[in-house]
Structure formats: structure tokens, C-alpha cells
Amino acid sequence: MISYTVDVQIADELTEEGIDRAFVERAALTTLTQQAYPHTVEVSVYVTTAEEVQQMNRDYRAKDAPTDVLSFADDGAESPFVLPPDMPRYLGDIAISWPHVVAQATEYGHSQARELGFLTVHGVLHLLGYDHERNPDDDRAMREVQDVIMALLELPRE
């Protein structure tokens, strides 16, 4: 039986922000379920500071710029081991900048929960291979899927 596990971590500096771990987990699980991902997988989501996300962007993507979400897919290429059929595969990591969640929610006129959900969905879709930067058709396809998943999360557009 296929199952999905989502590990949500919140940076120590943000513990007073009231970030809803269960909602982040639900957004990731809804994305994997909606996409009918055919394998048992684990995903990690880390909500942190803008500075830490920028440092990750610089260290791992050679882009010294702030960003709202980063996805690091684990392609499994480095592991010489074959996992047993019931063992989950590690799909990858997502890092979300909480200050970007707050600022973008204000900019777009919706709740922080909606923005956090959107960035979680966006990050998981990148782990699944979606890439809005390749061309306009890929961007359109990713946006359409995001809209479907956001509707499943039943968050008002506000």
C-alpha cells in the first residue's frame, strides 16, 4: 500500500509565530494524493527565516538572492542500495521563507495560511518534476494543477 510521510520543521526563531504544522503537512499530502504519486515517499518541509532560505539559495543554487520557496529533489542517484518495496523513498526537501509568506499574503490580499499552503503545494510540485521556468506551457500547466490542489485545501481566496 502506498503511503506518504511529511516531516514539518519550524525554525527555532519562528516558534512564537503560530505556524500550523498540521496544515503544512495536509497541503503536502493533498498534493501527493491529487497527483496520485505512485510510490511510498517521505518529504521534509522546513519553514524558516528569509536569511536562511537566501543562504540555501546561495549555497546550493549559486543564486545570492532572497526567494520564497526552494525545493531540493532527491533523485536517489547517490545511493547504491535498493530499498525494500515497503520502504519509503525520500522525495526531497522544501524550504519556505516565513517572512515571504507574511509579505506575500499582505501583497496578494489573502491569509498567511493560504500563502503558506500555496508555497507548500508549489514546492511539492517541484519535487514531482514540475518546472514553471522552462517555458510558458509548463508554467501554465503548473498553475492549473496548483489551482486544483488549492481548491481541495478549501481555503477561501479572500
Q: Is the pLDDT of residue 86 over 70?
A: no
Q: Is the pLDDT of residue 46 over 90?
A: yes
What mean pLDDT value characterizes the chain?
90
Q: Is the pLDDT of residue 139 over 90?
A: no
In this structure, the dihedral spanned by the alpha carbons of residues 140, 141, 147 and 152, taken in order and rounded to 10 degrees, is 180
Confidence of residue 77 (pLDDT cuts 50, 70, 90): low
pLDDT for the residue numbered 23: 96
CA distance 111 to 104: 9
Of 105 and 137, which is predicted with more confidence?
Answer: 105
Q: Spell out a b/e string for 140-149, using b for 16 or more CB atoms within 10 Å of the CB, else e.
A: eebeebbeeb
Of 74 and 31, which is predicted with more confidence?
Answer: 31
CATH architecture of 4-152: 3-Layer(aba) Sandwich (3.40)
Q: Where are the domains of the chain?
A: 4-152
pLDDT for the residue numbered 138: 81
CA distance 118 to 153: 10
| Mean per-residue pLDDT, 73-77 | 70
pLDDT for the residue numbered 10: 97
User: Over the stretch 107-120, which tens digit does the pLDDT of each residue have?
Assistant: 999 999 999 999 99
